[in-house]
Amino acid sequence: MGRPLLLLGIDGGGTACRARLTDIDGNVRGEGAAGPANIRFGLKESFEAALQATSQALEQSGLALGDVDIVACLALAGASEPTNLAAARAVDLPFRHALITTDAHAACVGAHGSKDGGIIVIGTGSVGWAVVGDNEYRVGGWGFPVSDEGSGAWLGSEAARRALWAYDGRAPWSELLTAIFDRFNDDPHAIVRWMGEARPRDFAALAPLVLGAASRGDPVAGELAGLAAAHIDVIADRLVSYGATRLALAGGIAASIEPWLTAATRQHLVEAEGDALSGALKMARTEVEARVATDSFEVQH
């Protein structure tokens, strides 16, 4: 008798990584979480985080790696870059099979199941993804600071920049900008040094401050929220033009950005059926189903 088969889903983003282990019927056996897994910023760090989250999930399940066959889908930020993706696929993993895809793709599959649809992830980074028939479409999400417009990192970075503008007298102060300046002991050079070293998640850590101030009517924060939403509207419009008329939002700041979107975007919004983790698990299950004819899995229900 072979070893029992488990499905593993990994959702790796710019700020954190989550793992979930289920049996073939979707019963959760264990979950785990670890640090960021954006392979654009470190392949080694990302896979360490993914395996650490997996170990936690296995521990919860009461099983050891050697006792089970795992079919995994790792959905990782940064995997849309071909060089990164190839490097990730070359990593030797302790699983029976491992798919590697982008976090956006898994989020799209999670949101719409087997139906056509699009997703816009607005978290540390931002990206649009659609599955329409047999085609996949990606819009934006080239990574911060090149792209990821409207994301948490984008918002935090723009807010810090405007604090410097206010210090220069190039723009008026606001409650938000004063709060940011306070964080750096009123030293513009400290802001500049921080911005020179900050990673996307460091910038994104300012986003809740911006969005909170925006909801309280801070004019600078409101302008930034509006600009972020305008970038998301453009992504939405492009996804719709590909035929993805049902759009779901995902990611840490999606709910706070949603009220700032245009009516044209909002009319396409639907609730996601599931998240990127459930999408990754669905893709792992599809992989099992595709291989079950040729591969001798021990599928226990």
Residues 207-236 that bind its own copies (CB under 8 A): 234-235
Instruction: Determine if 161 is a binding residue for its own copies (CB under 8 A).
Output: yes
Helices (H) and strands (E) in the chain, counts: 12, 9
Instruction: Name which of 89 and 216 has its Cβ closer to its own copies.
Output: 89
Kindly indicate which of the ranges 107-115, 145-153, 175-183, 247-255 contains the residues binding its own copies, using the contact rule CB under 8 A: 145-153
Q: Angle of helix 207-215 relative to helix 152-168, nearest 10 degrees? A: 70
From 212, 17, 237, select the one nearest 120 (Cα to Cα): 237
Going residue by residue from 76 to 105, which x/- string records binding to its own copies, judged by CB under 8 A?
-----xxx----------------------
Q: Strand, coil or helix: what is 100?
A: strand
Instruction: Name which of 7 and 160 has its Cβ closer to its own copies.
Output: 160
Instruction: Find the helix or strand (DSSP H, E) in which 101 lies.
Output: strand 97-101
Binding footprint of its own copies, residue count (CB under 8 A): 29
Instruction: Determine if 271 is a binding residue for its own copies (CB under 8 A).
Output: no
Q: Residue holding tokens 């590909």?
A: 242
At closest approach, how far in Å is the CB of 167 from its own copies? 9
Task: Tell me how far CA of residue 122 lies from CA of 217, 249, 294, in angstroms.
Answer: 22, 7, 39
At closest approach, how far in Å is the CB of 298 from its own copies? 40
Instruction: Name which of 10 and 166 has its Cβ closer to its own copies.
Output: 166
Instruction: Determine if 183 is a binding residue for its own copies (CB under 8 A).
Output: no
Q: Which of 27, 92, 114, 170 binds its own copies (CB under 8 A)?
A: 170
Instruction: Name which of 207 and 239 has its Cβ closer to its own copies.
Output: 239
Instruction: Name which of 5 and 210 has its Cβ closer to its own copies.
Output: 210
Instruction: Determine if 185 is a binding residue for its own copies (CB under 8 A).
Output: no
Q: For 143-182, b where at least 16 C-beta lie within 10 A, e where not — what string? A: bbeebbbbbbbbbbbbbbebbbebbeeebeebebbebbbe
Going residue by residue from 3 to 42, which x/- string records binding to its own copies, judged by CB under 8 A?
----------------------------------------
**Is-contact 129 107, C-beta < 8 A?**
yes
**Is-contact 85 59, C-beta < 8 A?**
no
Q: Strand, coil or helix: what is 248?
A: strand
φ/ψ of residue 261, rounded to 5: -75, 155
Q: Give contact residues for its own copies (rule: CB under 8 A).
A: 81-83, 138-140, 142-143, 145-147, 160-161, 164, 168-171, 188-189, 191-193, 195-196, 234-235, 238, 241
